[in-house]
Amino acid sequence: MPRLVSIAAVLIAFLPASLAAQDAAAPSSRSAQAAPAVLARHGMVASQEKRASEIGVDILRRGGNAVDAAVAVGFALAVTLPRAGNLGGGGFMLVHLSRRHQSIAIDYRETAPAATTSDVFLDQNGEADPARSRDSGLGVGVPGTVAGLALAHRRYGSGRFTLAELIAPAIRLARAGVPVEDDLLDTLTLLGGRLVRWPSSARIFGHADGTPLTAGDQLMQVDLAETLEAIARQGPSAFYRGPIADKLVAGVRTAGGLMTREDLRDYRAVVRPPVHGRYRGRTILSMSPPSSGGVHLVEMLNILERFPLRSLGAGSPAALHLMIEAMKLAYADRAEYLGDSDMVNVPLTRLLSKRYAATLAAQIDPERARPARDIRPDSRALHDGANTTHFSVVDRFGNAVANTYSLNFNYGLGLVADGTGVLLNNTLDDFAAKPGAPNAFGLVGSAANAPGPRKRPLSSMTPAIVLARGRPVLVTGAPGGSRIITSVLQVIVNTIDFAQPVAEAVAAPRVHHQWMPDHVVVEPGLASATSEALRRRGHDVRIGPAAGSANSIAVTPAGLVGAADARVRGGLAAGY
């Protein structure tokens, strides 16, 4: 059993503004609560769901490495955290292998079907139609999770476990059922209607009378167990070819989508070099495009390195103002330049450079907010008005994994492909339907992120590993749609600049600005005096959800310290 060490942390719970799309927070309103950190000597897993964390720790205890544990956790979360854990979505895994001195970014983001056109989400008048990308099969991307987890196991696992052995715990949970409690209860209570509108989903997530499962019920997922068993026997080809693939395609096309058997057959996860940065003597590793997360995390840190944050104080109006101004500048660049780097030219060298950051930092007034329109007045984004989860793993060998994966909305499209148990994503809403048209998280983009055949939509997922002298000292990441990057930024700044223990760094109230719309969202836990001080600097401050569940691990001289972010119920940091 993990040894618990109480490290003071006050955690804020909040209600999402848009329940289906808001993959940041638990869709329930709960009082603030203290969350103990966990101290362990040999291995640690921090995830959004306790059973999945325990499965990962068991793999570590039995001699597996961080990648083995991450693969087991990834499959388990598809069963125990169905609003975000998945087989029918995609994501990114960042791996640091200590003995090889090697860092790898595994891109298993969903791809658009080959028949996708640039105007697929426009109505007859050429305007963006959100229902097409969010509520129909047109929003379903070709799932990458199974391919990504299998690739991670094959190339970077310890060799002590077969893929079938890592999937086995998920199969047992799917067949035995999991109790409807904690985050599962919260999300089904508020979002069950999105599921039960589809008969194939209603049979799993609802009662015979059409109402969603509730407290005291068991979520049984027999079809999902059989899909997992097929993958365990045959490998990922069981998912991408044959009867399961046929059922996935049938589900998507019945809902009006474009996916074909050929799209599934041709899907590939991709190994990419991570984004690298340096911040106050530490190395920052994060995800490269098609995620915007790593690029703009490093960009913001490069800007903030020009300012003495530590002397300003954690949570001070002066420090928060500087972070907000850096956020605006980075998100303006995101809207203009970022897309699938396999399809468009992304100016990574410039965006990641210290020299460029210096020019941006020089534009920041330490006393006054800059209007968003003044940052990029010529942007087409000004012409027009979830669900994700993150887990972190560190093993006794010094290897580390930061993994973020998603269905986009809570429960994705809400549609289970009949006979598979697989919830389908609506990730293609992350494309810019047209330049300047906001997606469900209010993010705008340019033609660089337009829909296209086999293109990967831009993401904000930001799995991150911080190294000191070549060794991991922090593994972090978060869900939260557009708020992911700023959540990860603040965890890193809190630990490096303000020397906060990881539990406090994770628990601290967060702020968020994404350039457009031009307002700052702050969590309810931020002191009212601080909010007023930001308003006096010219910020339009609004109270609301600003962060996700940033499940993090710090590597310290005392051992591994895990912090499960209690902004949602049911998370767990566990170690041995």
Catalytic residue positions?
Answer: 388
The secondary structure of residue 139, as a DSSP letter, is G
Q: Which of 256, 326, 288 is nearest to 456 (CA)?
A: 288
Distance spanning both ends of the chain, measured CA to CA: 7
Chain-centre distance for alpha carbon 305: 25
* Dist CA 202 CA 561 (whole Å): 40
3-class state of residue 207 by DSSP = coil
How many CB atoms sit inside 10 A of residue 536's CB?
Answer: 12
DSSP calls for 229-251? HHHHHH-THHHHSSHHHHHHHHH
* Dist CA 88 CA 146 (whole Å): 8
SS3 sequence of 450-509? CCCCCCCCCECCCCEEEEECCEEEEEECCCCHHHHHHHHHHHHHHHHCCCCCHHHHHHCC
3-class state of residue 68 by DSSP = helix
**Six-digit token pair at 323?**
């972070």
3-class state of residue 189 by DSSP = helix
Q: Are strands 387-394 and 400-407 parallel, antiparallel or unpaired?
A: antiparallel
* Dist CA 564 CA 506 (whole Å): 8
What count of residues does the chain have? 576
Alpha helices in 241-292 (DSSP H): 243-254, 261-265
Alpha-carbon distance values, 95 to 72, 374, 400, 464, 536 (Å):
15, 39, 6, 9, 43
**Six-digit token pair at 56?**
């990962």
Q: Are strands 559-563 and 552-556 parallel, antiparallel or unpaired?
A: antiparallel
SS3 sequence of 354-386? HHHHHHHHCCCECCECCCHHHHCCCCHHHHCCC
**Six-digit token pair at 413?**
């499209």
Q: What are 318-322's contacts with CB under 8 Å, separation 24+?
A: 318/366, 320/511, 320/530, 320/534, 321/366, 321/367, 321/369, 321/534, 321/537, 321/539, 322/364, 322/366
3-class state of residue 319 by DSSP = helix
Residue 286's DSSP bridge partners are 275, 464
DSSP calls for 246-300? HHHHHHHHHTT----HHHHHT---EEEPPEEEEETTEEEEEPPTTBSHHHHHHHH
Q: Which of 384, 354, 415, 505 is nearest to 138 (CA)?
A: 415
